[in-house]
Amino acid sequence: MARQAMQPGAAIDGFIIGECVHRGGMAMLWSATHPDINVPLLMKVPVISEGEDPAAIVSFEMEQMILPRLSGPHVPACFGTGDFERQAYVVMERIPGPTLYRRLGDLPMPYDEARGIAYKIASALASLHRQNVIHHDIKPSSIMFREHGEAVLIDFGLSHHNHLPDLLQEEFRLPYGTAPYMAPERLNGVRDDPRSDLFSLGVLLYFFTTGIRPFGETETLRGMRRRLWRDPYPPRKLRPDYPAWLQEIVLRCLEIDPAARYPTAAQLAFDLGHPEQVKLTARSQRINRDPIGAVWHRRFNLGAVQPHAAANVAAQLAASPIVAVALDTADGSEALNEAIRIAAEQVLSTLPSARLACVTVLKLNRLSIDRTLDEQGQNKHVERLVALQHWARPFRLDESRLTVHVLEAIDPAAAILEFAAVNLVDHIIIGARQSSMMRALLGSVSAKVAAEAPCTVTVVRPSRLAAQANTSESGGTDRTTNETAVTPPGMF
């Protein structure tokens, strides 16, 4: 069947073609409308001409397969696709505004601004990875932002979907991607590791905070292969005022071995959201690159990164969750907190890469002025912070896997829910107290959290301890809704 002509006013499957808004080497973007769709649209059409690289066609097929399966605010909504027999296309939501590429003239950025941008991108990657997709082309021109600030990832032609055929892997042997941002393992044919996207984000964050790309501009395969054994200059070598916490994050993302990076995008986002709690290692103080002996060991020991057997993206993410434990450290609920500890130990014992966030809420008054000191003259916030650290000490977790947080809020349940949403928490463990008149009249924190949290919630009963912690499943989320908790004055 003859291909349809792409020109303003033409109709394809009910979509009316408007103006050409972008003409690239691999695809063209046209504005489009549809009588039944009430949002701005773009139609993406591949460029097919004499001598065209067949990888361009395959990558368009990948985008046609992957984009319709994605959802959420971090990707453009897909409204239709067309096959190559008549006219290949993808119709998607048109995100207003430019890509992050526009900001290259502003480099280097202020550290905190770059951190905020990287946090939004890491959150978007966490959402994408949970949908079994690895982007494989994270760079400034692949990132946009919605009106309310959420990062939107675009261009999925090089992506890998864990449940779909990987046509690029099956049909080509060369790695495809943008050379300065490509992860080392990609050069060995590895396309099923979500930590490759974290490497690319590390490159972007290094670039945006120093103004220099960590591996230069090389486009040759030989030049790119050097990153299998050669690390970049630490940012503090380029900018002496570079924050230690930021260098810790950047260099962890840029580790040659994926196992040394953050295990998930959600854990990376957590550190970006809490820079004051980033656990500093020797990375944070480095000024020089690795010694030549270490470089030669990688170079002549068959490289630092080797191909590995196919991994399940979902299983890898499930092995590295963020677990939030909500505690009341002030009202003498030792039995309940011990039960919560047992429940948390059971979870952590099977998840060696899990991250534990210990949370308590200092409840504020609605009408009266809150006092910062207790009856003994101790600062309430500091007192609860120390109590959380003491409670968590028996876990003997590596510092990079443990954080403590004292939230101040009028509504403790809302504060816990907001913390879980902002920090991409996968599992909340919270206690439920015995029956009381206050609970009957006002409801409970644990019931609200269990009912509204977008993640797994385990509610622990103090009388039965953690061995009988109740968890029930509702709408894909484990929750216990038949147990409630008291909210005593000043705490939850």
Give the number of domains in the chain: 3
Residue 75's φ and ψ, nearest 5 degrees, are: -135, 150
How do residues 8-56 score in pLDDT, each as one tens digit? 999 999 999 999 999 887 789 999 999 999 999 999 998 876 555 677 8
SS (H, E, C) 180-218: HHCCHHHHHCCCCCCHHHHHHHHHHHHHHHHCCCCCCCC
> Whole-angstrom Cα distance, residue 336 to residue 230?
51
Average pLDDT over residues 197-224: 92
| Cα distances (angstroms) measured from residue 63 to each of 17, 47, 227, 252 | 20, 14, 28, 30
In-domain check, residue 464: yes
Q: Residues 389, 262: one domain?
A: no
| DSSP-assigned letters across all residues of 255-297 | -SSGGGS-SSHHHHHHHHH-GGGPPP-GGGG--SPPPHHHHHH
**Whole-number pLDDT of residue 371:** 57
Tokens of 165: 């055929």
How do residues 407-418 score in pLDDT, each as one tens digit? 988 898 999 999
**By residue range, what is the domain housing residue 464?**
321-479
Match 């966030």 to its residue by tokens. 357
Q: Residues 110, 243: one domain?
A: yes
Which is more confidently placed, 144 or 172? 144
Q: Residues 174, 206: one domain?
A: yes
Of 59-63, 112-116, 166-170, the poorest mean pLDDT is in 166-170
Asked if the model's pLDDT at residue 337 lies above 60, the reply is: yes
Give just the sign of the alpha carbon dihedral 267, 271, 277, 283: positive
Q: What are the residues facing 43 on neighbouring strands? A: 30, 91
Domain boundary among 316, 350, 375: 316
Calculate ∠ Cα 260-264-266, nearest 5°: 135
Of 53-62, 460-469, 475-484, the poorest mean pLDDT is in 475-484
Of 147-161, 271-285, 469-483, the poorest mean pLDDT is in 469-483
For 241, residues 6+ apart whose C-beta sits below 8 A from its C-beta are none
Confidence of residue 437 (pLDDT cuts 50, 70, 90): very low
Mean pLDDT: which of 37-46, 295-304, 437-446 is highest?
37-46
> Whole-angstrom Cα distance, residue 472 to residue 480?
5
In-domain check, residue 364: yes
**Whole-number pLDDT of residue 32:** 96
Give the burial class of 181: count Cβ atoms within 10 A of its Cβ; 0-12 exposed, 13-18 middle, 19 or more buried: buried
Cis peptide before 108, with omega less than 30 degrees from 0? yes
Are the beta carbons of 485 and 447 closer than 8 angstroms?
Answer: yes
Q: Residues 85, 162: one domain?
A: no
Asked if the model's pLDDT at residue 206 lies above 80, the reply is: yes
In-domain check, residue 203: yes
Share above pLDDT 70 across residues of the chain, in percent, rounded to a whole number: 84
**Whole-number pLDDT of residue 467:** 40
Q: Residues 187, 115: one domain?
A: yes
Q: Residues 284, 336: one domain?
A: no
Q: Residues 275, 413: one domain?
A: no
> Whole-angstrom Cα distance, residue 271 to residue 279?
9
Domain boundary among 316, 333, 349: 316
Q: Residues 160, 80: one domain?
A: no
Of 59-68, 81-90, 467-476, the poorest mean pLDDT is in 467-476
Tokens of 229: 């054994």
Q: Residues 186, 284: one domain?
A: yes
Q: Residues 214, 251: one domain?
A: yes
Q: Residues 344, 442: one domain?
A: yes
**Whole-number pLDDT of residue 50:** 54
Asked if the model's pLDDT at residue 131 lies above 60, the reply is: yes
In-domain check, residue 242: yes
Q: What CATH number should be reported for the domain holding residue 359?
A: 3.40.50.620
**Whole-number pLDDT of residue 302:** 53
DSSP 470: B
Asked if the model's pLDDT at residue 400 lies above 90, the reply is: no
**Whole-number pLDDT of residue 431:** 87
Distance of CA 360 to the CA centre of its chain: 24
Which is more confidently placed, 331 or 432? 432
pLDDT, the chain, mean:
85
> Whole-angstrom Cα distance, residue 351 to residue 429?
15
Share above pLDDT 90 across residues of the chain, in percent, rounded to a whole number: 55
Q: What CATH number should be reported for the domain holding residue 71?
A: 3.30.200.20
